[in-house]
Structures are given as structure tokens and as C-alpha cells.
Structure 1
């Protein structure tokens, strides 16, 4: 009996949470034109369904009709009692007439949204740095070891990539003061390669020079569809000890839907010029107290 109890205590002293696959996808110029093409929508839906949280970028739909149609198609294909998708979406963001939206699609049974915050980009003396200000979302994840985390998304303007990536440090600090979460993911289309961020500029980017941030994606990863390009545009950056422990760098993947679904380059480019980028938040081992 004593041995049985000891074994049970040992088993209880180590517990593991569920895993969560988190992704980002710049669906180039997503709007009514793309949603009208079944073969394109089919690929987009399959990409989304691979993930538990999917950040969608470059929603460019002035009438705001395409994204609701995408959600209807997604839920009609994959929804069940155990698998149903919900979303949060930003206002249309941008300067003058050019506007985009960020959206997060997530599995309701795994995560929920605690709060959202549209970064105002109004710092005194440093106003209007971002063309598309981050739409920040605080997620609750009761089934994983990291119970809550914040995602800061970004789609930079290529020509302003260095300044916008650096300014994400200020966004992080403001959100950290605003909310109590210690777990942060900064992700999206940074345009952080191919001439937009010269090597000489990396030391001037606080998000890179501050050692408390972990970059899951290095400068050699290729997130572009065209065979003629090799650019690490899309990135993932982590902050928070627990968050960093929960994600293995080896889980980071660029999902090549062109190869996976047997598409030509032209067919793949009809979907997007970016591949989705994803990673898995695993469980953090918890050890009980030894006597």
C-alpha cells in the first residue's frame, strides 16, 4: 500500500497540459475577389484548420463582406460540438484610403478572448509610427500549462520595417502595464528581410537587442511562395519565462501549401505570396515538492 501511494505521488508530481498550435498568415489582399474563388478558399480554409489560433493579415475589403463569408465556410466545413471557430477582428486600419484589418480565428473549445486593445499609436513626439497599428488580444487557455497569453500582431510597411519593428518594444511595454499577463507573443509579417531590414540595423531594434525576447524565427527562414525569393518576412518573438519554456523552437514551421496540396506556383500565388508560419505551445513540466 505504501508503494502504491508513493507511485501515485510520483505520477501526480509531474503533470502535462495540452498543446496549442498558433499560426499567422498574410493572405495577400484578401477580399471579395478571393472569397469568390472556391479553389482559393479551399486552400485558405485548410491552412486555418491546421491551427488552434490563426492570425490573419491583409484583409482588404472595404465592404467587410469577405471575412464573414470565410468564417461561415470554415465553420460549415469543420464545425462540430468539439470543434467550432470564433474570431475577433480589428477595425479597418491605415492611412488615408488604404485600409487593412487584423483578425484572429480560434477554436472556442480550447481558448477564449479575455480582452482586446487597439494600440492608439499616439506617443508624444512619436505619433503615427505604424501604418497598421497592432490589434492586441489577450487569450485565456485553461487547458494548457500557460493559462493566459497576449498576442501582439503586426504587418509593417516594408519601407518602414526597421522603425515599426523597433516600436513594437513600446507597444509591449504599454500592454504589459495595462494587463497582468507575463506571457507575450509578437508575430506577423515583419517584412524583416530582403533589404527592408539591413544587417547593420538589427542592433538598433530593441526587440532584437534586448535579450529578454526570444526570436523563434531566424534570418534564414523563407516564408515566401515564389521560388525566386528567399525572405524571412514573417516572424515570431516571445517574451516571458513561462512562455519561452512552453514553446520548443523546433516546433516552428513554414507550411508549404504549394507542395502539400500539389499546386503550381501560379495556383499557390492565387492564394497568397506568403506561406503560413506556425509553432506549437507545448506543456510545461511541473514537478511537485519532494519530501
Structure 2
């Protein structure tokens, strides 16, 4: 039954650009080894043109390559439809994670990558997992390039890390000549980690040049017992903001889509993917 549902979801080929993020909880060899779980992950990725994958915890470095092989083997349009770029293992002490971007090659290409050094004088090591920033060329959309700053905050430091993303933006904007920024990922920006009284202290929120597409009541958590807007998307740049319809924000509820029990869904992740759509380029006539 699952295979039949998956065949119905080939959304590749749309001219608009669907950009998503997905915290695949503790992604590694265990999830790769479970066919039903892998099918859901692959389908969640393949319905997007660009997927930011968070919480890759694979010390051996094999699971992500296997994911890419499986993803491309399922392509119904062309060989090696998807390519990827992945960070080094990031984290303090022995706990490490990686950020990865998986993208459809006919829609995007990588212009440059930048590992934020997280070494500002007097504020070193502000992030548990410092952002791995990627500058993409996007010739088929209203903005012909875009920079994505990913984040997976440490829950207990969410307020500080979300605020520090302002510094990351400033650093990257001086490095690359682009005005089109997307800051996205698992902010842990809800359910006690960011008290309402703290929002005023977060520059990314108080500076009006940044547009938060995702409201505080959005639910990106899988558990029915929680309603938490953990995952967020923030835009910066006039053309970038104009190129994204706020109504395009989508939480992909794979639990409902595939008729899973909560236990089955949690075997995939405790987060649902969060997506936005960038408008296609207008044809000149």
C-alpha cells in the first residue's frame, strides 16, 4: 500500500522551487536499514527541489551516501537527479551532527559553501552546531541566486543561538554579493525553549528587515501531545521576500499522508518537514 502511495507523489518538474527542511531525528545506519522508514524519508525528500537535512548522526559516514543512492535509484525522470553537499561533523566534545543539502540538479547548482567559524571575539563557540552556509544559483526562479543559513539549535540555548543568527547573516552578507537570504531549520523556537518575554531580545525577530514566514502557532511536531513551532523559515532581502508567497508555507504531515500510527511516524522522526515555495521566473514577452 505504501509503495502505491509513493507512486502518486512525484512532484518533480514543477517550475516553481520547493525548499524544505527536515530534522530526521538521529539519522544514521539504523534508519537506513528499515525499508518502511527509508521509503518515507526518500519520499519526503523527493517531493522537494531542495531539502535541508538536519541531525545526521552517522559517525561512520556511510548512511547519507546510502540515502543519496536510494533516492537517485527511485528517480523516474533521470539518473542522478539529485545532488548534495554536506558539512563536516559539528558539535562539542563527542556529540556530533551534520547539515546536508539535497537538491535537484535541473533546478539548482552550488555557487559556494561556507562553514561559519563561530569565533567572534568575546563570543566564541556561540553555536552547538555552527551553520554550514550554502549559496545556490537558481536560474528558474524570480531570484536567480539565494543563500541558505541552516540551524539546529541546542534547545537549552535556543534564545541565544537564534539571536546569534543575526551575526551569521551579517558575516555572510559581507562575504558574498547576494541580497537573497533564507534562514531555516530546527530553531527549537517553541514549547518552553523560547519564552514569549524573550522574543524582544532576539535581533532576528526584532529587526524588521527579517520576515518570519512561520508563526508561533505552527505545529511541526509529530506527537499529538505536543503542538510546537520548532521549525522556522526567515527571509531577508526585498526580492527574496517578494518571491515567496506566505501561503506556500507547508508542513508535510507524512503520518496522515501514509496512514501511519504515531509510533510508526515517530520511527521516522519527531519532526515533520517544513516547506516553502519560491516563485518561478516570469517569462518575458
TM-score bracket, normalised by the shorter chain, equals over 0.9
Counterparts of 1:270-289 in structure 2, within 5 Å, are 270-283=267-280
Q: 2:23 aligns with which of 18, 21, 26?
A: 26
Counterparts of 1:1-291 in structure 2, within 5 Å, are 18-78=15-75, 80-81=77-78, 84-283=81-280
1:82 CA drift (Å): 7.8
Look up the SS of the partner of 1:92 in the other structure. coil
Q: Which digits, 9 at most, give the CA deviation of each residue in 1:245-270, with x for residues without a partner?
A: 00001000100000000000000000
Look up the SS of the partner of 2:194 in the other structure. coil
**Contact 2:107-2:139 at 8 Å conserved across structures:** yes
**Contact 1:246-1:284 at 8 Å conserved across structures:** no
1:283 CA drift (Å): 3.4
Instruction: Give the Cα–Cα distance (whole angstroms) in 2 for the partners of residues 45 and 88 of structure 1.
Output: 17
Look up the SS of the partner of 1:144 in the other structure. coil
Q: Which digits, 9 at most, give the CA deviation of each residue in 1:109-130, with x for residues without a partner?
A: 1100000000000000000000
**Contact 1:254-1:276 at 8 Å conserved across structures:** yes
Specify the structure having the higher radius of gyration (Cα).
1
**Contact 2:73-2:79 at 8 Å conserved across structures:** no
Please list every run of at least 4 consecutive aligned residues from structure 1 whose deviation after the TM superposition is greater than 2 angstroms. 79-83, 283-288
Cα distance, 1:81–1:284 mapped onto 2, change above 3 Å: closer
**Contact 1:245-1:284 at 8 Å conserved across structures:** no
Instruction: Give the Cα–Cα distance (whole angstroms) in 2 for the partners of residues 29 and 286 of structure 1.
Output: 43
Instruction: Give the Cα–Cα distance (whole angstroms) in 1 for the partners of residues 261 and 28 of structure 2.
Output: 22
Look up the SS of the partner of 1:176 in the other structure. helix
1:273 CA drift (Å): 0.2
Structure 2: runs of 5 or more not aligned? 1-13
**Contact 1:247-1:281 at 8 Å conserved across structures:** yes
**Contact 1:117-1:136 at 8 Å conserved across structures:** yes
After superposing the two structures, state which structure 1 stretch, 209-218 or 77-86, moved more: 77-86
1:286 CA drift (Å): 8.3
1:103 CA drift (Å): 0.2
Look up the SS of the partner of 2:41 in the other structure. helix
Q: TM-score, normalised by structure 2?
A: 0.93
**Contact 1:102-1:135 at 8 Å conserved across structures:** yes
Instruction: Give the Cα–Cα distance (whole angstroms) in 2 for the partners of residues 234 and 250 of structure 1.
Output: 16
Look up the SS of the partner of 2:61 in the other structure. coil
1:79 CA drift (Å): 5.5
Instruction: Give the Cα–Cα distance (whole angstroms) in 1 for the partners of residues 169 and 246 of structure 2.
Output: 21
